[in-house]
């Protein structure tokens, strides 16, 4: 279980003032759940994810993973960014196996584990290719496989499909849902897209900027159906989906509006 309690992050701004990027954010992410944070640009989504990743310290509050304080990066958290961070000179399989290499896993074993992950993300035949021969969607699959390689407790995904065309994005959403259903990983996922949030999230938290806060949270139950069917069409036209989508849209455009799920 990941527990975020009253997490605040303040950055010094160049004009001498300060930016409250995160303001007293509290959030739990239980095993087997996907929590999606959605909100307009600048509402603190990446700051939240970077704090959980251990890339930046909280100004106040605490983050724990299974009771252990999170204050630095660690193999118990796998991170996937919008822009892939693959090593261009290493083969796909060596990129996936990188974290295992750092852990001292023997070459044969780490290649075997990396191959299993490439199978999981549908890239069985691409292990020996260099990353630059892969499409953007394929590189994000490699990134997902690499994030899973150390068997992290939680996956942290910052707009991982944001740069992909809409068809590739849908395929990647299907892949993530099926990986989640098969591995039961807990996931923190950041997006601008309300539809993506509702399709993938078991919980959707809506954030508002200045200061970055959670203004509402919703339980959603479309992710399991999506993982089982891989078909987004019926979900997008489900009246409950449409109702939630419009409610979240209204909150993002008018964060102070009241409505179901609103916290403050």
Q: Can you give the binding site for ligand ATP, defined by CB under 6 A? A: 11, 13, 19, 21, 39, 41-47, 192, 212
* Smaller CB separation from ligand ATP, 140 or 208: 208
188-201 in b/e form (b: 16+ CB < 10 A) is bbbbebbbbbbbbb
* Smaller CB separation from ligand ATP, 99 or 143: 143
* Smaller CB separation from ligand ATP, 83 or 111: 83
Residue whose C-alpha is closest to residue 204's, from 50, 40, 38, 52: 38
* Smaller CB separation from ligand ATP, 19 or 156: 19
Per-state percent for the chain, helix, strand, coil, to nearest 5 = 40, 25, 35
CB of 145 to ligand ATP, least distance (A): 24
Contact 191, 81 (CB under 8 A): no
264: which residues sit within 8 A by CB, 6+ positions away? 213, 215
Contact 230, 178 (CB under 8 A): yes
CB of 11 to ligand ATP, least distance (A): 3
Partners of 63 in beta bridges: 4
CB of 13 to ligand ATP, least distance (A): 6
CB of 72 to ligand ATP, least distance (A): 18
CB of 207 to ligand ATP, least distance (A): 7
* Smaller CB separation from ligand ATP, 44 or 143: 44
């Amino acid at each position: 279980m990941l527990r975020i309690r009253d997490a605040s992050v303040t950055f010094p701004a160049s004009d001498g003032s300060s930016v409250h990027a995160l303001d007293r954010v509290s959030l739990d992410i239980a095993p087997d759940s996907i929590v999606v944070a959605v909100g307009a640009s600048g509402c603190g989504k990446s700051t939240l994810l970077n704090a959980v990743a251990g890339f930046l310290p909280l100004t106040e509050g605490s983050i724990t993973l299974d009771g252990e304080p999170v204050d630095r990066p660690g193999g118990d958290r796998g991170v996937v960014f919008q822009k892939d961070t693959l090593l261009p000179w290493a083969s796909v399989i060596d990129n996936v196996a990188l974290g295992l290499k750092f852990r001292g896993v023997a070459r044969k074993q780490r290649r075997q584990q990396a191959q299993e992950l490439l199978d999981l993300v549908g890239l069985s035949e691409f292990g020996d290719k260099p990353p630059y021969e892969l499409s953007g969607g394929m590189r994000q699959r490699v990134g997902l496989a690499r994030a899973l390689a150390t068997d992290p407790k939680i996956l942290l995904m910052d707009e991982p499909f944001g740069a992909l065309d809409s068809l590739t994005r849908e395929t990647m959403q299907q892949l993530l849902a099926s990986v989640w259903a098969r591995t039961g990983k807990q996931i923190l996922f950041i997006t601008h897209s309300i539809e993506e949030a509702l399709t993938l999230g078991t919980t959707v938290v809506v954030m508002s900027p200045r200061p970055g806060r959670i203004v509402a949270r919703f339980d959603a139950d479309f992710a399991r159906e999506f993982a089982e069917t891989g078909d987004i069409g019926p979900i997008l036209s489900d009246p409950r989906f449409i109702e939630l989508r419009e409610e979240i849209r209204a909150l993002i455009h008018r964060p102070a509006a009241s409505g179901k799920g609103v916290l403050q």
